[in-house]
Amino acid sequence: MSADTGETPVVESARRKRTRDRLIDAAYDVFAEHGIAAATVEQITEQAGFTRGAFYSNFESKEELFFALADRENQVRFDRLEAGLTAYLPERGQITTDQISGIVRDFLGLQPDNRSWCLMQSEFQMLALRDPEVGKTYISGENRAMSMLGARLDELVAMVGLRFTMDSRELSQVLGAIYSDGITRVMLAGSSNPGPDTIDEVSDTIARIVQAFTEPIPA
Nearest CB to its own copies, comparing residues 106 and 123: 123
* Residue ranges that bind its own copies, judged by CB under 8 A: 118-119, 122-123, 125-126, 128-130, 132, 135-136, 138-139, 142, 166, 170, 173-174, 176-178, 180-182, 184-185, 187-190, 201, 205, 208-209, 212-213
Nearest CB to its own copies, comparing residues 43 and 180: 180
* CA torsion angle 164 88 142 163 (round to 10): -10
Nearest CB to its own copies, comparing residues 156 and 166: 166
Q: Rounded to whole angstroms, how far apart are CA atoms 75 and 216?
A: 29
* Residue 163 β-bridge partners: 215
> Count of alpha carbons within 13 Å of 60, Cβ hemisphere only?
4
User: Smallest gap, in angstroms, from Cβ of residue 178 to its own copies?
Assistant: 5
Rounded to whole angstroms, what are the CA distances from 131 to 35, 135, 137, 192? 17, 6, 10, 30
User: Smallest gap, in angstroms, from Cβ of residue 5 to its own copies?
Assistant: 41
User: Smallest gap, in angstroms, from Cβ of residue 91 to its own copies?
Assistant: 24
